Structures are given as structure tokens and as C-alpha cells.
Structure 1
Amino acid sequence: MPDSLQIALKNDSDSSNIHAYISGIAIQQCGQRCLLKANGKDLYFPGNPPSIGTPLAEDCAISLGSPGNTTTVTIPQIAGGRIWIVEDKLTFLLNPGPALVEPSVLNPSDPNASVNFGFCEFTLNNDQLYSNISYVDHVPRIPIAITLQQASGQSQHVVGMAPNGLDQLAESLRQQAQKDGRPWDKLIVTQEGRPLRILNATHGNAVGANFDGYYEPLIDQIWQKYQSGACMRINTQAGPGVLEGRINSNGELMIGDEAFGKPNSADVFGCNSGPFTTGPSPTRNAIIPRLAAAFHRSTLLVTEEQPSDPSTFYPQDPTNHYARLVHKVNLDGKGYAFAYDDVQPDGGEDQSGKVNAGDPVLFTVTVGGKSAAGGGGDGQQAASQQQQPLGDQQRQEYTRGPPPPPPPPGQDQQERQEGGFRGKLKGFADRFTH
């Protein structure tokens, strides 16, 4: 693995006012929080500020230039990284610590609340580069695609959305709200009459989209099924192998020797509370992602085998229509739509929109979606990649950490942004620094 890696930032939009920011934890600098400077080669380490909400001392915006331009930068090994893409610029702040206060889509008083931005996540460490297009927090208006070129000559590509992908998603959510009466349409954040972003249903309370009680009818049916003789089989895809699950006399779902109580809708959407809370048991921690994904995708009534084939995902109501439709509007059907969206059956096709390899040469982030939507350029590369699956020696699995726990009740949103929900990489980056 290299100590550094080139990242190509390609402007595939119609705007000349697109910037990138790269943030993360510098592995080779004792795990300090950092941003890449605007020159694309040096790191900026924020100092400890005198007060909450202090502006950065350095403008770290990297211009992508005019449409069609590619800007190349170099990063060292970084854990828990994000490549932020924004139309215009973002505002990062510092709290004492120092703690980097990142842009928030949940806090209406955040200075970036009306700004069009998105991001992809990555970690570059001694083992591999891992990256994904994350929709765990929200879907941005600005499309992002990623490509990883390897020393072996192979490449991996995730296409992302077309330029009008957010509009398509918004219309589909409005139709779903009319169909089932649930507030899917309230997840749409608009600006000047046009969708700016769409929040994950996990964050529905931030915009008055209340999904309390949504999954409970499905959960009751699942409990009835596995209390009436059906046997769930969870492939942990780890040392414990395949474990059987049934409802016991106490009303608990027993999977192997692990007992799971009934989740509620908040537990299912967040994947990090109730029965999905991880702990010291490696077996339980292997079960949780597969069980949580099965609830999200509503597959537990369709098949007893988990993880199940993607053809079984989202078959009925209630299900996670945000996740279902996010996959639908991404041109290759890939993208991280909830915290365990990388769960897949052995040999199954990845759903999460990730690239990873132990021999990275160039990582490209393409912004705007024009070539992907036109079926050429990146779209052709994606089709080629589907015909060139990785061999066993090239494929490296990414070992996920669990989602971070939910914040304490009443904790101020801005104060917790530095430790906020960040898909798979946030909150667990420190384990890559050792």
C-alpha cells in the first residue's frame, strides 16, 4: 500500500463554481484531525480555538475549475475521510478541543443549510483504499460518481445519479406519500421551489416527517411467523457460520444463543438502538448487520435465508422506500442508503456503491453526472467493470464498524456534529490509525 494516493476531481457539471474539501484523520500524524489545503498537497491541522464556532484559519476550498476540467490532488493515509463536493463554498467551524464542526443537513441554523453539497467517504490505510457514495444522511442535488484504478490494471466504478436524479427521487417520494399516507414527501428540502436535498427517513424528525409506528405491523407479522414454526437462518458470514432463529417462550427472537427483543421503527431506521445495539459479543455483532438489513428491506417474511438475494428486497409495505428509491435513481442501482446497506449474500452483487482494493493507483471523483446520464464516458466504464469481476487475490473485504450510537436526548445539534452520524466510517476511524 502507498503512503499517499492521487485523487482526480473531475468537473462533469455545467458550473465553474464547484469546490471540493477533503477532511479526515491523518494516520501518519498521530491521528490528528485535518483538512487538505487548497494547494492539493499539504495538510492543515486546525489549532485549538478560543471559543465555540470559531472559523477556520485556512481556506481549504479546492476549485474544480471549468466544466470538463480535472484537478488532481494528493492525500496521505487518512481514516474516516470525506471528500465534500459543493456548489460555491462550505463553512467549517471549530470548537475547543479542537473539534471540527462539519456541515450539517439537520441543523437549520447551520451556515451550510441552504448550500448544495454532498460527499463520498473514504479511508486510505495500510491495507486498502475503501470508499463509498453515502446517502446515509441525505441525497444531494449534486451527483457524485467514483472510480478506482488499480495497479493490476483493473478498475471499479460507481456511476451515481444523473443530473436530474434528485428531482426524480423527489417525485417518486411524493407519489409514495400519496399512496401510503406516510410523510415521505416531507423529507424533501426545497430551495426556491426546487429540491435542494432529500433527508434519509432516519432523520425525518428534523423536518417534521414522523415515522413512529411505521414498521410495527411488519415486526408483529415477523414475530408471528417465527413463533409459529418457521425457522430463520442467518448467515453471519463469519466464524459462527449459519445460525437458526425462532421466537422463544419469552417473546424474544433467539438466533443461536443471542436473544433479540422486538425493535421499534426508530430502532430499524437507525440500526443502532434497541436490539441492534452492538456490544462485546462478536457473534451478536455479526448477526446485527444482517438482521437490521433484513428489517430495512422487509425480507424476513419473504424468505427465511438471510442475507437474501437482492431480488427479494423491498417487496411490500411497510418497507424503507427512501432506500428503495435511492437505489432506483442511481444509474447502476448502487449507493449507501442505510447504515448496513453493504450487507449482501455470499457472492451477491454489492448494493452499497463502494470501491476498495489493496493496490490503488488513482481514485477519481466525478461531479455532475452528465457523462453517466448520457451513457458514455463513465457509463461505458461502469459497463466494462461489470464484465471484469475482481479475482480472489484482488478482492479485499471491508470490515465495517457498527453505526455510532444515537445522541443523548437534548444534546445540542451543533455541538455533536463532529461526532455525528457518518455511515460506516464515522466514529470508527480510530481503529484504522493503529
Structure 2
Amino acid sequence: MVSRRRFLGISAAALSSPLWAGTLTAPFAMAAPESLRFRLVNNSGATAYAYITGQADADGRVMFVRADGSVYHPTAGGPVPEPLGEDPAIPVNGSAEVMVPRMYGARVYFVTDDKLEFFTVQAADGGTALVHPNFVSDADPNFDKNWTFAEFTLNSVQLYANISYVDFVAAPVGLHLVHAGGTQEVAGLPDGAIDRIASALRDQGGAWPTCVQEVNGTVFRVLNPNHRAGDFAGYMDEYVDQVWQKYANEPLFIDSQRGDIGILEGRVEGDDLVFGAERFGRPTTGDIWGCNSGPFANNPDTDSEERKAIVPRLAAAFNRTTLLINSEQPHGEDPATFYQHPVTNHYARVVHENLPDGKGYAFAYDDVSSNPNEDHSGKVNHGDPELLTVTLGRIR
């Protein structure tokens, strides 16, 4: 399973997601190129700018790619955020092509009818950290702007790119990869999907309407419930209790999908779900939505390989609410049964229902699937890429 968490690497651009760096074995005989042609397409019907930013593959420094393909490394003078020293915006009038060097934890941002404001701050190690646009605080200068992004990493192994809804839904983005021998495509949300998603969550009632974010009466974003965790306190408790009752009386099997670990058997003992030496306490709603706290906390330097295998599959089953109907995770998982319990991640349900091919990360472990040929996550990847097209659609 090639996942965004392993391949994007740790990045300040992905604060809400449990990412980690690591060596990834891939079935590609040749090293990926030192740089790759990106085509940026503006189908939004408005003036658009793009920003390509991430961390340099060679040394981890924060970087922007300019319109001419040259690289800008911003610097920070101290602990107080300060504006960039230059404007790295790439005008996208119809389309624009840029040569992008190897970088990780990276994003292609789009914004319409305005420009984004990025800031730098001195990190604890004395280096420069990038302050990305904030979609939660209305004090951020980018809050009331129409912006969105796609994620990618290009390193010596391959290009990996995906459309992420782990934070929010905004203006639609699509991906098309041309590589040696073929193409891959992720359609992304269609034009106008944001209003349908917002309407569906409002109709759901309860705390779900709090996920809808408006600016001057117009829906600009729909937030992942992870960013409204306080409003959902206790929401999943009854479901978690039912899961605990079920597996106090029968085993839960989780296939690590790794030959060296195999299938792990778990049972509830006392108040913990136990798989051999690994114990998992009851997750809260916030733990389930965020996939990176409580029993799902990621500690890559100390977690056992077994725990690293269990966490994504268990968290995915909780988000999709399939644990009461399938005791063999993720084997036996049928996408038609995802999100069918009344108490479920309705944000993920509605996002997937609005995706033409059903593909896109609606939570951090949405890449978990029953077999390697099944993809729910909306990614393109290849070791010999030739052209990545990132297309901005109409928000409505």
C-alpha cells in the first residue's frame, strides 16, 4: 500500500495528518527524474494564481518554485512570523507549465481573484519553517479567500500526488499523470460539488452543519469534522461501546498486509482491545476523526511494526463504521457498506458520494483497502513520470 503518510514525508504543510518519512520499496527499476514538468490548468472561470511549495529533497529546506522553474528558499529572522521576501505566485491564465525539482511534503496551491500570503518563522532548530494559509482562524489574511491545494512528493523513487480532503473541501482539483507506458487520472470533485456537500451535512443535523464555513453568506469550505472535534464530543461513544462489547465475545482479525507480520488477532480484555503486546484503549470521537491521538497516536520512532500496521486499519474501520459487520479487517470490506451505520463519518460519506470515481482522501487512512488493486484515496504515482497536470475547476 503506497500511502500519502509514508510518501509525502513529514511536512509543516500537513499538520492535521499523521505523516511520517520512511524508505518505500516500489516496483520501479529506474530512479525518478531530477525534475518533472507540471502543467497547471485554470478552469475556474476566474483569475487564478498557483504556488508550488514544499521541502527540498536534498536538504529539507523550505522552498517555492517560481514560474520560470527556479527555486526560492525563504528565510526567517526570528520567532515572529514575517512575510516572504518575494512574491512566488505563478499566474495561471488558461494554463502554465513549470519544471518542478525533487521535493517532499509539497503542495500545489490555487487561489482565485487574489493572492495568498505566506509567512516564515524560525524553527526550534534555527532553520526556517513556513506558515501556511489557515482555514480555521478568521484572523488569518487568507481565511476569506477561495483557495485549495493538491499534495505531492517527487523523489528518487517516484512521483506521488493526491487530492486531499483530510482538512476540508473547497474549489475542486483534478490530477492527470502521463508516465512511461500510460496515464493515470483522478477526477476530483465536479464543479459545484461544495454546495451539495454543504447541503447534505446541513440536512444531517446535529453538529454536522458546524462543518460548513461561509464567507459573506457564501460557502467557501466544508471542514473535516476533525476541525470541529469539540462539537462532536461523545458522538461516537455508543458505537465504540458496541464494538467493545462485540469483541469481548469474539476475535477481531486485522491483516497487516505484510508477509512478515501476517494476520493479527485481537480481543477486548478489560477496557482495552488487545493484539498480542499491543493494547488500544477506547478511542474518542476526536481520536477517530483525527487518526493521530489517543490509541491512534503515531510514534514512528518507538511504535512496533505491528502497531504501525494495526492503527491505520483500525482507524479506517472506525471511520467507515464497519467493525460491527466485519470482523476481518480490511478483508471482506465492501465499499458499498462503508458509512452505512447511522452514527458514522458523514463528512467522508458525503465527500465520496460526490466524487465521480469515489476517489479522494476524506480522512487520513482513506488509503486502506482490502486489496492492492483497490484505491479509495485518489492518488497518482509512478517511478517514470513525464507530465503531471493539476487542474483547478469551478467552485460553483
For normalisation by structure 1, the TM-score amounts to 0.79
Letter in 2 for 1:92: F
Indicate which of 224, 228, 231 corresponds to 1:210: 231
Asked if structure 2 preserves the Cα contact closer than 8 Å seen for 1:132 and 1:355, the reply is yes
Letter in 2 for 1:150: H
- Structure 2 Cα separation of the partners of residues 51 and 124 of structure 1: 30
Asked if structure 1 preserves the Cα contact closer than 8 Å seen for 2:51 and 2:88, the reply is yes
Letter in 2 for 1:191: V
- Structure 1 Cα separation of the partners of residues 77 and 88 of structure 2: 17
- Structure 2 Cα separation of the partners of residues 143 and 345 of structure 1: 28
Once the two structures are superposed, residues 255-301 of structure 1 have per-residue CA deviations (whole angstroms, 9 ceiling, x without a partner) of 24322111111111111111112332111111100000000110000
Is 1:32 aligned to 2:61, yes or no? yes
Match of 2:154 in 1: 124
Indicate which of 246, 263, 285 corresponds to 2:267: 246
Match of 1:95 in 2: 121
Letter in 2 for 1:289: P
> SS of the counterpart of 2:232?
coil
Match of 1:303 in 2: 326
Number of residues of Structure 1 aligned to a counterpart in Structure 2: 354
- Structure 2 Cα separation of the partners of residues 354 and 347 of structure 1: 13
- Structure 1 Cα separation of the partners of residues 118 and 275 of structure 2: 44
Asked if structure 2 preserves the Cα contact closer than 8 Å seen for 1:23 and 1:81, the reply is yes
Letter in 2 for 1:175: D
Indicate which of 75, 80, 88 corresponds to 1:60: 88
Structure 1 residue 50: Cα displacement: 4.8
Structure 1 residue 369: Cα displacement: 5.4
Match of 1:151 in 2: 180
Asked if structure 2 preserves the Cα contact closer than 8 Å seen for 1:121 and 1:134, the reply is yes
Once the two structures are superposed, residues 183-215 of structure 1 have per-residue CA deviations (whole angstroms, 9 ceiling, x without a partner) of 11111111222201011100015xxx6000011
- Structure 2 Cα separation of the partners of residues 251 and 210 of structure 1: 25
Indicate which of 261, 278, 282 corresponds to 2:305: 282
Matches within 5 A, 1:333-372: 333-368=358-393
Match of 1:194 in 2: 218
The structure that is helix-richer by fraction is 1
Identical-pair percentage: 45
Q: Which runs of 5+ in 1 are unaligned?
A: 374-434
Match of 1:322 in 2: 347
Asked if structure 2 preserves the Cα contact closer than 8 Å seen for 1:246 and 1:254, the reply is yes
CA, structure 1 residues 273+136, in 2 after alignment: closer, same or farther (shift >3 Å)? same
Structure 1 residue 233: Cα displacement: 1.1
Asked if structure 1 preserves the Cα contact closer than 8 Å seen for 2:45 and 2:394, the reply is no
Once the two structures are superposed, residues 86-113 of structure 1 have per-residue CA deviations (whole angstroms, 9 ceiling, x without a partner) of 1121000111342211101012211101
Asked if structure 1 preserves the Cα contact closer than 8 Å seen for 2:253 and 2:264, the reply is yes
Match of 1:270 in 2: 290
Bigger Cα displacement from structure 2, 44-53 vs 299-308:
44-53
- Structure 2 Cα separation of the partners of residues 226 and 57 of structure 1: 57
Indicate which of 36, 40, 43 corresponds to 1:12: 43
Once the two structures are superposed, residues 50-106 of structure 1 have per-residue CA deviations (whole angstroms, 9 ceiling, x without a partner) of 5622111111111110xxx22100111001000001112100011134221110101
Letter in 2 for 1:336: Y
CA, structure 1 residues 231+355, in 2 after alignment: closer, same or farther (shift >3 Å)? same
Once the two structures are superposed, residues 8-56 of structure 1 have per-residue CA deviations (whole angstroms, 9 ceiling, x without a partner) of 00112211x111000001113x22110112x230010012325622111
Asked if structure 1 preserves the Cα contact closer than 8 Å seen for 2:160 and 2:381, the reply is yes
Match of 2:208 in 1: 184
Asked if structure 2 preserves the Cα contact closer than 8 Å seen for 1:129 and 1:360, the reply is yes
Once the two structures are superposed, residues 136-168 of structure 1 have per-residue CA deviations (whole angstroms, 9 ceiling, x without a partner) of 11111x11000111112x111110112211001
Letter in 1 for 2:327: E
- Structure 1 Cα separation of the partners of residues 68 and 254 of structure 2: 45
Once the two structures are superposed, residues 285-343 of structure 1 have per-residue CA deviations (whole angstroms, 9 ceiling, x without a partner) of 11100000000110000111111221221111210000111111122211111111111
- Structure 2 Cα separation of the partners of residues 32 and 348 of structure 1: 35
- Structure 1 Cα separation of the partners of residues 36 and 44 of structure 2: 24
- Structure 2 Cα separation of the partners of residues 196 and 318 of structure 1: 26
Structure 1 residue 360: Cα displacement: 0.5
